[in-house]
Amino acid sequence: GGVLGIALGLLTGNLIAGYFETPFVVPWGWVTLGVVLCLLTSLVSGYYPARLAARLDPIVALGRD
């Protein structure tokens, strides 16, 4: 999803810049920072629930309603 969003953003930016006849400048540092922060957020937010689930006894977990 993120790669598609970046690609669509670049395409839209180029189209708008072409319409207004201005140069389109991509701040690659900000793009990279955004991707890295998204990856870190997803890893950190998934680690804790996965760690708790790994500690559960499968029989007990399946028996709960």
Which is more confident, 42 or 64? 42
Own/partner long-range contacts of 37-41 (Cβ < 8 Å, ≥24 apart): 38/2
Q: What average pLDDT does this structure show over 39-60?
A: 92
How many domains are there within the chain? 1
Which residue, among 44, 4, 46, 9, has the nearest Cα to 24 in the 3D structure? 9
* CB hemisphere CA count around 7 (13 angstroms): 4
CA dist., res. 54 & res. 40, Å (int): 21
Query: By residue range, what is the domain housing residue 7?
Result: 2-63
Task: Kindly report, residue by residue over 5-43, the tens digit of the pLDDT.
Answer: 989 999 999 999 999 999 999 999 999 998 999 999 999
Q: Kindly give the residue spans of alpha helices, DSSP state H, lying in 1-65.
A: 2-20, 28-55, 58-63
Residue 1 above 90 pLDDT?
no
